[in-house]
Structure 1
Amino acid sequence: MTRRMDGLTRKEVDKAESKDFALGGKPMRPKDAATLILLDKRGGQHFVLMGRRHMRHAFMPGRFVFPGGRTDPTDSRIPVHADLHPAVAEKLAAPTRITRARAKAIAMSAVRETCEEAGLLIGVRAPFSTRSPHWREFAENGIRPSLDGLRYVARAITPPGRVRRYDTRFLAAWRDDVACELPDGGSTDELEEIVWLPIADAMQAEIPAITRTILDDLQYRLTHDPELNPGGPVPFYSLRGDRFVKLLT
């Protein structure tokens, strides 16, 4: 089992991810995406929320993953109770210096996908209305989305040679940030077998190689920064030349 991806050659990365991605396709730029790592502390252990992707997916079929997906730029126009913490927003914008609206859209997509895939609404109980059908559950349940509890913990760009490529930002939040849990779960069938797992157990589950690497980083950070204070170091993974490398931003 490959414990970490940083330092692997491109050939080694392709082998490590051979069950996670459909290879091939034309050269393409990675699309913005976001995922949310929900954390819960019980009895001195940190648990994470994960769900299994259906086998029909070309992207990480059958793997346990965090809720997440492609960023929708229109999410930047959705009103929130509180915006990203300034230190988180600054980190999210670096090193490519994306706009504030794009940073908000990335964070909001993680919140929206967590609702759609897991039925968990991040925010506060307050009047909320929107014309966007993607945020209907928030309006119907009187939950105003909020971003101030989110923490930016990692970034990874899918290597070339895959049929899909994403520039994924990994955000984290605590279970206490969930204002509402839908009784029937999420509105999509993207994930099944949604479970809370101790981080150590999650790292032994059927998860993508990059997810295992990021969980390893997260466990280390929680050991030294158990509250996940905003503005902490963010590992950034990408293929540079013939080597998959880790940079701290």
Structure 2
Amino acid sequence: MHGMTKAEVDAIERNELRPQGGPKRPRDAATLILLDRTANDFRVLMGRRHARHAFMPGKFVFPGGRTDPGDSRVEVAAPLPTAVEEKLIAGPGRASAARARAIALSAIRETYEEAGLLIGQKGEFRTSKPEWQGFAEHGVQPSLEAVRFVARAITPPGRVRRYDTRFLVAWRSDVAVELADGGPTNELEDLVWLPLAEARNGDIPGITKTILEELELRLEQDPLLQPGGPVPFYRMIGNRFIREVL
């Protein structure tokens, strides 16, 4: 999608366009790409969004949602690696360590709420935040140690929703508890683990396909996803959808 015009992007994602009353400011969002290494291949967790959703109905996506600034105050067993935090702070927009922490923890919380997967370490965890009570009930301390930042994209103007999304990665081995009945919100249907190549060819948003392609390239060069690797950043500048690197 490097260097595409707005009209070309609109043609790819025509179903996401809606009449709007004026420009919408992108909201911070966080998405978690959960990977499972199988022999020489990687599988990724994806789920189908309910048809009733206004944003990307029926599409296969990664767990994620809007960032809650309050998540930055949740206690963790281990913090973000410094190199990952620095990349999350880089680029346009408000930048702070607290914001980077909120983005990463929001991705972990959304993965629990939508997929029933609690990422962290077994141990006592207490919190007054209702949305984090599942971690306390199942004895899981959230951990950011294994989180990696692999891509960022800002939804082009004209969509029914606009987000400044950070795509993060963690490993299935970092899941401390996997709930058999899924998460409390059940926002995602048909949760499946798919090989990366199969996931790319599924019913997914255009930007999701692009991010999966980027992730495949990075895994070829860095299968362990070391902290601080290059982060592609997609956004509209003028009338072109541009790829930069953070």
TM-score between the two structures when normalised by the length of structure 1: 0.96
Indicate yes or no: 2:126 matched with 1:129: yes
Tell me whether 1:197 sits opposite 2:190 in the alignment: no
After superposition, residues 203-218 of structure 1 pair within 5 angstroms as 203-218=200-215
Spell out, residue by residue over 1:24-64, the C-alpha distance to the aligned partner (whole angstroms, 9 max, x if none): 34212100000000001112111000000011111111100
The answer to whether 1:12 aligns with 2:34 is: no
- 1:57-76 map, 5 Å: 57-76=53-72
Structure 1: 4+ residue segments shifted above 3 A: 20-23
Q: Is contact 2:16-2:159 (8 Å) kept?
A: no
Partner of 1:28: 24
Q: How many aligned positions are there?
A: 245
Deviation at 1:190, TM superposition (A): 1.1
1:201-236 Cα shifts (integer Å, max 9, x gaps): 000000000000000000000000000000000000
SS across alignment from 1:169:
strand
Measure how far apart 1:103 and its partner are.
Answer: 0.8
SS in structure 2 at match of 1:19: helix
Distance 1:47 1:20 in 2: 27
Distance 2:19 2:194 in 1: 30
The aligned counterpart of 2:243 is 246
- For each residue in 1:74-124, what CA deviation from the matched residue of structure 2 results, as whole angstroms up to 9, or x when unmatched? 101110001100000000000236111111001000000000000000100
Relative to structure 1, the CA distance from residue 20 to residue 46 in structure 2 (aligned partners, 3 Å threshold; closer, same or farther) is farther
- Residue 64 of structure 2 aligns with an amino acid whose one-letter code is G
Query: 1:55 matched to which residue of 2?
Result: 51
Identify unmatched segments of 5+ residues in structure 2: none
Cα distance in 2, alignment partners of residues 22 and 85 from structure 1? 39
| Structure 2 counterparts to residues 1-249 of structure 1, below 5 A | 5-96=1-92, 98-249=95-246
Amino acid at match of 2:25: R
- Contact preservation (8 Å) 2:17, 2:158: no
Partners in 2 of 1:67 and 1:28 — Cα distance? Answer: 23
Distance 1:112 1:65 in 2: 16
* Inter-partner Cα distance in structure 2 for 1:76 and 1:227: 26
Cα distance in 2 for residues equivalent to 1:6 and 1:56: 32
Is the 2:152–2:166 Cα contact (8 Å) retained in structure 1? yes
Aligned residues of 1:25 and 1:161 also touching (Cα < 8 A): no
CA apart distance, 1:23: 4.7
Shift of 1:163: 2.2
TM-superposed CA distance for 1:242, in Å, is 1.1
Question: Cα gap change, 1:25/1:219 in structure 2, threshold over 3 Å: closer, same or farther?
Answer: farther
Look up the SS of the partner of 2:80 in the other structure.
coil
